[in-house]
Amino acid sequence: MQKGERQVCEHARRMVVLGILICSGVLTSGCVVLEEKYNAEKARSLNFQRLLAQEEKRTAELDSEVRHTKAELAEFESRNRELSAQVQMAREQMGRLQEETEAIREATVLERKALEDMQRKGPSPSAAKPKKAEPSKAVSGGRGGGNLSDRGMAAVTEPAAPMKVTPGMVHVVKAGETLFSIGRRYGLEVDKLKKLNQLPDDIVEIGQKLLVGAE
């Protein structure tokens, strides 16, 4: 009876040991699976963190590029405004130069016309030198009367002398007159006339008052 009980106990102990071994194997395999899953999740997490860091770095680079582009755009706009202002100034200067050129051209034409008028109205070179009148022709002796004709008077008359200038004398510019003709009328050089009236150039206007007599 005791021998049978021993066999039963031995069998039961073997079964318990076998069960323990089986449970240990199951637990061990389960732990291995869990460890593999943990390592896989950990690797995925590290990979995600690495990708996230790369994206953050790329975002920072894009932000820097955007700020740099905005700064360049502002600089280009500033340069564009400066160039626009310079172009406007150049246009205004060109307009003023065109006006001055036109004024100089008109003054030159007027001066040329005045010189031509003076040459047409002035005495001829042959009349510049007074001719000696013969007594027989200077005195009345025939039908022509006692005085010379107007043509004869022009032939023996010298060019008109400059007008007498008094201190503070003023001349009012008339149509067709120039600084040259005015200076010739009063016996003044153009430079002196410009200096008396503080003129920057040779242009004068109709109705302008010019000082021709030094005070």
**Span 122-163, pLDDT tens digits:** 554 444 444 444 443 333 333 344 343 444 444 334 445 677
Taking residues 7-29, report their average pLDDT.
77
The owner of tokens 């007498």 is: 164
Buried b (16+ CB within 10 A) or exposed e, 5-30: eeeeeeeeeeeeeeeeeeeeeeeeee
* β-strands 209-211, 170-172 pairing: antiparallel
pLDDT value for 215:
62
pLDDT top residue among 111 and 206: 206
Where in the chain are the domains?
1-122, 126-158, 159-215
Q: Determine contact, residues 193/182, Cβ cutoff 8 Å.
A: yes
* CATH 3.10.350.10 given to domain 159-215: yes
Q: Which residues contact 1 (CB under 8 A, 6 or more apart)?
A: none
The reported pTM is: 0.30
| Nearest residue to 169 (alpha-carbon basis) of 151, 187, 191, 147 | 187
129: its two tokens: 């030198």
pLDDT value for 59:
92
H helices then E strands: how many in the chain? 6, 2
